[in-house]
Structure 1
Amino acid sequence: MNVADAYEWASARLDGGTLMFDTQDGFEQALADGFFFVQRPAGFDLTAGDRFAAHFYLDGRGDDEYRGFGKWNAARLAEREGYFSREADQVEQFFLESRFWDNVFPDALSRQAREMRDFSVAVARSILQRLDLPAECLDKATGGILSGRGTYHLTFNHFRPQVRARGLNIHKDSGWITMLRSLERGLEVLRGEQWLPIVPRQDAFVMNFGCAIEILTKDTRTPVAAVAHRVVEQQSRPDGAPDRFSYAMFVDSSLDTTQCEGLYRFDPHVGLVLAADFNTFLNRILANTYDRDTEGLY
């Protein structure tokens, strides 16, 4: 095992709504690294998500309700929703925001999506309560994510080894926290000047912070890092071997400007200061992530 493989990412469990880290400095390490593990609760069934991730891109067949989702595109749903085949990456993806879950997903997957949303919000709440931020400003500052008014996307990734391209471009996530289900290696995180691999754990979710929380906290005593990451190119596999997949719950601010003005920065002397229009910011991050000669950073 090389030095990069040996790096120990922070790890925690959610106990009664509170994140309990395995080491004394685990919380501080998570804020600095931008990535950490959270133990999967007992009884958290991921069967539906795993099945959808492995089948959504296949042509529809008979009564298999987990196939044939290429027909659900942005024209049929809404901007940034549905199936996308990326030209500059190996990945093909399916994005679906919570307002569409019950009408599009199989029932079991809709239930899993709500569990993932609730769990990721609980993790975000526990983190936010420990930061140098006034409790009374948290819901406004985070665009309603804590009161169910945020934007919650479940996103599936299928990596096509027959496509010779990067797996997924270098980027930062746009929002507050991302909850990732990943079973295989390939995800790498930029720590300092070195790309470190995330070695997946079957018993845990990979959690990472996004640009929104980095912007909010950068002038506080507890800054949170949104760290660049990528998926490396996936190689062809023996016949019959399943392709790499992953899926994630993205927790973002409300895109309704009557609910949320945009992304805020907290100034200890002034309070919340509007830092960016979230729709514009999100469009720029996404375009720079999926274009051929750019990186999804800000």
Structure 2
Amino acid sequence: MSSTRSATYRDSLTLPSPLHQAHAQAMYPPLTLERARFSGSRLVFDSADGFARGIEQGFFLLKIPQGMVCAAADQFARQFYLPDDGYREMEVPGLYQGYFDRPHDQWENFYIERDNWHLLPRAVAMLGTQLASLGLNVLRNTFAYLELPAFDWPRISSGLTDNCGHQMLAFNHFRCAKNARGCKFHRDSGWVTVLRSTEPGLYAWIDGQVRAINPLPGYFIINFGSSFEVLTERLATPVRANIHGVAQLEPRPVESERTSYTLFLDSALDGNLYQYRNGRAVVVQSVAQFAEQEVARTYDQTARL
């Protein structure tokens, strides 16, 4: 299917790329993100309209549950790219997995899907399972908030709501000595992303302007992906999958370069993408076609998305 004729293809947008961190910090104010936490399996926002604002902005902060320890994964993110660590050369079974060196970006990363988490250090795999549980609860709570019929959830999510689907860990490192953008502005293609970041550098295009998406100690950053935006586009309360990227970072000692990691929740590649029309969830594209379309736009060398 030609991407320009795809039912899910959005008009191209030219964004300020690359952003330079020192300039961006001075030019683009941080977005005030809504804060939420889990009470049991229920997602609770600090403010009365927090859920609505999070859906509108496409981002919110989620309090790290008591007892969840990120230290092992933090350390893994600081080491996966080292030549002698073993993960650069590791062959990970499956599509879109393993080590990637992005030629147009400071960004390099390591992707690994849940079926392969046994290849990770045990404590890192354990945190991945916990992050997936958090993200799945965000997904279910958002479906409930939107009043989508519960019997539709497994079908429209390719089984994610039943803990199936595509669950991917991604570890990121930004090589500050490389004269390139941090990473291209893009939309995540899936449903929910759980981001562990500890320093500024992330920016998003929200309401026609660039805003900083800064981390807060003790919180993960949650953002919604394009599958949610496509599904809800015609609903009274559409979920936004806002464009975001990392600014170009100035040189600094290698041991203090920016790292982060994310948990992506997506539909299985053999599934379908749906949209609610007149109260019914209808198929608009295969997930495989959608993924190919979005990946091509995310990693190319242009400033257009």
Q: TM-score, normalised by structure 2?
A: 0.88
What is the aligned counterpart of 1:251 among 265, 277, 283? Answer: 265
Please report how far the alpha carbon of residue 138 of structure 1 lies from its aligned counterpart in structure 2 after TM superposition.
1.3
Matched residue SS, 1:71:
coil
2:170 pairs with 1:155:
yes
Partner of 1:10: 34
Q: Matches of 2:26 and 2:201 in 1, distance apart?
A: 16
Partner of 1:178: 193
Partner of 1:95: 111
Q: Matches of 1:154 and 1:87 in 2, distance apart?
A: 21
Shift in CA distance, 242/3, structure 1 to aligned 2, threshold 3 Å: closer
2:298 pairs with 1:282:
no
Q: Matches of 1:140 and 1:158 in 2, distance apart?
A: 35
Shift in CA distance, 110/220, structure 1 to aligned 2, threshold 3 Å: same
Instruction: Report Cα offsets for 1:198-240 as digits up to 9, x if no partner.
Output: 1211210000000001111111122101100010001101x46
Contact 2:228/2:241, CA 8 A, preserved across alignment:
yes
Please report how far the alpha carbon of residue 105 of structure 1 lies from its aligned counterpart in structure 2 after TM superposition.
0.4
Shift in CA distance, 240/227, structure 1 to aligned 2, threshold 3 Å: closer
Instruction: Report Cα offsets for 1:61-106 as digits up to 9, x if no partner.
Output: xxxxxx2200124xx522211000000000000000001111x101
Residue ranges of structure 1 left out of the alignment (5+ in a row): 61-66
Q: Matches of 1:79 and 1:20 in 2, distance apart?
A: 36
Please report how far the alpha carbon of residue 272 of structure 1 lies from its aligned counterpart in structure 2 after TM superposition.
1.3
Matched residue SS, 1:202:
coil
Partner of 2:79: 55
2:64 pairs with 1:40:
yes
Please report how far the alpha carbon of residue 148 of structure 1 lies from its aligned counterpart in structure 2 after TM superposition.
1.6
Higher RCO, Cα 8 Å, sep 6+: 2
Contact 1:132/1:221, CA 8 A, preserved across alignment:
no
Partner of 1:110: 125
2:90 pairs with 1:72:
yes
Contact 1:132/1:222, CA 8 A, preserved across alignment:
no
Q: Matches of 2:281 and 2:53 in 1, distance apart?
A: 26
Partner of 1:190: 205
Partner of 1:231: 246
Partner of 2:6: none
Moved more, 2-11 or 118-127: 2-11
The amino acid of 2:87's aligned partner reads: F
Please report how far the alpha carbon of residue 33 of structure 1 lies from its aligned counterpart in structure 2 after TM superposition.
0.2
The amino acid of 1:171's aligned partner reads: H
Q: Matches of 1:144 and 1:294 in 2, distance apart?
A: 35
Please report how far the alpha carbon of residue 4 of structure 1 lies from its aligned counterpart in structure 2 after TM superposition.
4.6
Shift in CA distance, 6/282, structure 1 to aligned 2, threshold 3 Å: closer
Q: Matches of 1:7 and 1:29 in 2, distance apart?
A: 12
Q: Matches of 2:100 and 2:31 in 1, distance apart?
A: 34
User: Following superposition, which runs of at least 4 residues in structure 1 exceed 3 angstroms of deviation?
Assistant: 1-7
Matches for 1:126-137 after TM superposition, within 5 Å: 126-137=141-152
Matched residue SS, 1:174:
coil
Q: What root-mean-square deviation, in Å, do the aligned CA atoms of Structure 1 and Structure 2 show?
A: 1.6
Contact 1:18/1:126, CA 8 A, preserved across alignment:
yes
Matched residue SS, 1:20:
strand
Between the two proteins, the alignment pairs up a number of residues equal to 281
Contact 2:110/2:170, CA 8 A, preserved across alignment:
yes
What is the aligned counterpart of 1:264 among 271, 274, 281? Answer: 274
Q: Matches of 1:85 and 1:6 in 2, distance apart?
A: 29
Contact 2:187/2:243, CA 8 A, preserved across alignment:
yes
Shift in CA distance, 3/158, structure 1 to aligned 2, threshold 3 Å: closer
Q: Matches of 2:46 and 2:188 in 1, distance apart?
A: 25
Shift in CA distance, 209/218, structure 1 to aligned 2, threshold 3 Å: same
Contact 1:156/1:248, CA 8 A, preserved across alignment:
yes
2:226 pairs with 1:218:
no
